[in-house]
Structure 1
Amino acid sequence: MKTVSIELPENISETELKIILGGELYEREKLTLGQAADLAGLSKRAFIERMGKYGFSIFGDSVDDLMADIKNA
């Protein structure tokens, strides 16, 4: 895994940034749901609950994606 160091404005927490990054990468199909949750430092359940607050959807673009997520859950 790579490490990136960035400076954040005071009004953005590291946790918030990780959730946003994980959610965006999940929606772009660059990470699985589990990988995105790991990136955010959360369990899958906690990550899913937080995703909605940030406007992300856990559902993929296709039925196949949804079925794969259900199978892996």
Structure 2
Amino acid sequence: MNQTIAIDCPAEILVSLHMNAEGLAGFMKQQTAITLFREGRLSSGTAAAWLDLPRVTFLLRAMESGAVLLEDSFDDLARETSLLDAPS
């Protein structure tokens, strides 16, 4: 079940960002998904599904926003490369 969250936003913010309410909502949703992914609170698959994006597209956007996709550990490398061999 989906939930809708309402956030008050002064018109001045929308004007200064050159966005309408829908554009700001989409931007905030994407930034929230990326931040939660970076904090380890959402998986890349869950975040991508929330944004209705392919996982690879989400990972590229997260990386462009500064997310570290792999730490320098063999465990992380093994986990991520095992996903490449997993059936879809």
Identify the TM-score tier after normalising by the shorter chain. 0.5 to 0.7
What are the Cα deviations for residues 17-62 of structure 1, in whole angstroms up to 9, with x where unaligned?
2222112211222211101111222111111121133222222574
Q: Aligned pair 1:5/2:5, yes or no? A: yes
Q: How many aligned positions are there?
A: 73
Cα RMSD between the aligned structures?
2.6
Name the stretch that deviates more: 21-30 or 2-11.
2-11
Q: Aligned pair 1:48/2:62, yes or no? A: no
In the superposition, the TM-score normalised over structure 1's length comes to 0.67
Which has more radius of gyration? 2
Question: Any unmatched runs of 5+ in structure 2?
Answer: 18-22
In the superposition, the TM-score normalised over structure 2's length comes to 0.59
Residue equivalent to 1:17: 28
Q: Aligned pair 1:72/2:83, yes or no? A: yes
Distance 2:77 2:26 in 1: 27
Question: Any unmatched runs of 5+ in structure 1?
Answer: none
Residue equivalent to 2:20: none
- Which stretches of structure 1, 4 residues or more, deviate above 6 A after TM superposition? none
The structure where helix makes up a greater share of residues is 2
The correspondence for 1:34, drawn from 26, 36, 45, is 45
Q: Bigger relative contact order, structure 1 or 2, given CA contacts below 8 A and separation 6+?
A: 1
Distance 2:4 2:81 in 1: 32
Identity of matched residues, %: 22
